Amino acid sequence: MSWPELLAAAADRCLDVLLEGADQDWSRPAHGLDWSCRETLDHLALGLVGYTGLLVSRRDDRYVTLFASLDPAAPVPDCLDGLRIATALLTATVRDTTPDARSWHPWGHSDATGFAAMGIVELTLHTHDIARTLGLPWDPPDDLASAALDRLFPDAPSGHGPSDTLLWCTGRASLPDLPRRTSWRWDGTVRGRREPASPAG
């Protein structure tokens, strides 16, 4: 799949599983985070729209001043619809952005593929965080994890499944002989390959 297709697939898969837990208590903390499950949704909306704004504005020195938030009084299903809209905005912008375009990010000035990968990481990891709290069995799908690892985590360890590796890279799990990380960051800088890699085992 292309990056826009992967980003759209991430939205579909993540929102489908979150909708399964929409009737639960979202005021509880998302697993491993200081935010509640509901606040984590708001963080996602802000991030996805923020990445869109960066790609549109092509800033080279700072975040854009556009912020997005979800209605705090809206029911969870409506908030999930808001996230679908935010992802659709980023997906369309990634699709329409030229390959030579660059924009600022504190973890590496990036191109459209980098911001698409960032959106996939945000969606899949925070879905994992919320799903853990809500008791929903869900891990980042290997095809999405593999693409994100290839684009944003060039130093990721080999020999492990993509989902497990992404969770390790982002401080959410340990791997055999590798303890859980206490700090992490991705590298959004452009390194040549632009299309997603095939999932690795």
Contacts of 137 (CB under 8 A, 6+ apart): 131
Q: Are 112 and 55 in contact (CB under 8 A)?
A: yes
pLDDT tens for residues 104-156? Answer: 988 889 999 999 999 999 999 999 999 999 999 999 999 999 999 999 999 99
In the chain, where the domains are located: 3-169
- Smallest CA-to-CA distance from 116 within 199, 1, 7, 2 is with 7
- In whole angstroms, what is the distance from residue 119 CA to residue 123 CA? 6
CA 37 to chain centre: 15
CA 163 to chain centre: 13
CA-based end-to-end distance of the chain: 18
Overall pTM > 0.85 = yes
Question: Could you tell me the maximum CA-CA distance found in the chain, to the nearest angstrom?
Answer: 45
Structure tokens at 193: 């390959």
**Is residue 48 over pLDDT 70?**
yes
Q: Specify the pLDDT at position 23.
A: 96
Structure tokens at 43: 């963080």
For residue 51, how many other CB atoms are within 10 A of its CB?
A: 26
DSSP state of 88: H
Tokens 């808001």, residue located: 82
Tokens 């590496």, residue located: 108
**Is residue 2 over pLDDT 70?**
yes
pLDDT tens for residues 56-106? Answer: 988 888 777 778 889 989 999 999 999 999 999 999 999 999 999 999 988
The CATH number of the domain covering residues in 3-169: 1.20.120
